[in-house]
Structure 1
Amino acid sequence: MGMPNREDQVKALANETRIEVLRLLDDPATHFSKQESADPVEIGVCVQLLAEHFGVSQPTMSRHIELLKRAGFIVAKRQQKWTYCSRDDAALADYTRWLISSLNIKTF
């Protein structure tokens, strides 16, 4: 994979729902322990369960997932008719380092 598109990453994080998706995917075992179709930690969380959690349609959640995927913040895997998502912590850490560096933020 080449350099991440920083504009895609900024756009992906410009929405509270997408930020909350990333928070939930940090601990899928806690938030999605009732998922029966696949292990939420091993395989990821089903997009349909995320849609239900937020009370939105599956196409609406798919759009959020697509933006997060394009930013590189999540990995989506197709298994039969379902799509499962997991968080890419390395990509999130890279983005954080870039943001701190590009804005010249002093860390303590």
Structure 2
Amino acid sequence: MDRSTQIKAMSSAPRLKILRLLADPQAHFGHQWSADPVEFGVCMTMIAEALELAQPTASRHVDLLKQAGFITVRKHAKWSYCKRDEAAIRDYLNWLGTELCAQA
């Protein structure tokens, strides 16, 4: 995984908010009717609304999180659904902790 892309993905308040919201999709997106937000993921439109951003702007944030490996995106009909990749996030946090605590 490209760590520089991951660092860039984590360096934005909107992207961090997306990850926080997706950490508990039932609490934040339980009203999603098109698919189960926990099992299937959260619709991009709902993420944009939660961020109070235009859809293209939210899509750019989601795309960088996807490039970093922190979320997966799957399409169904005309919608895109996003889910956190918990293993990738744990791997990044473990790597960051190791890097920050390494003896020079």
Pairwise TM-score range, normalised by the shorter structure: over 0.9
Structure 2: gaps (5+ residues) = none
Output the TM-score relative to the length of structure 2. Answer: 0.95
Amino acid at match of 2:77: Q
Amino acid at match of 2:7: V
Alpha-carbon displacement from aligned partner over 1:60-103 (angstroms, at most 9, x marks no partner): 01000000000000000000000000001100100011111112
Aligned match of 1:11 in 8, 18, 42?
Answer: 8
Count of residues in correspondence between the two structures = 103
Amino acid at match of 1:102: E
Deviating beyond 6 angstroms after TM superposition, the runs of 4 or more aligned structure 1 residues are none
Hey, what's the Cα distance between the residues in 2 that align with 1:84 and 1:65?
10
> What is the Cα deviation at residue 54 of structure 1?
1.2
Hey, what's the Cα distance between the residues in 1 that align with 2:45 and 2:57?
10
Output the TM-score relative to the length of structure 1. Answer: 0.92
Correspondences of 1:83-98 after superposition (within 5 Å): 83-98=80-95
Alpha-carbon displacement from aligned partner over 1:41-70 (angstroms, at most 9, x marks no partner): 011000100101111111101000000000
Hey, what's the Cα distance between the residues in 2 that align with 1:21 and 1:55?
12
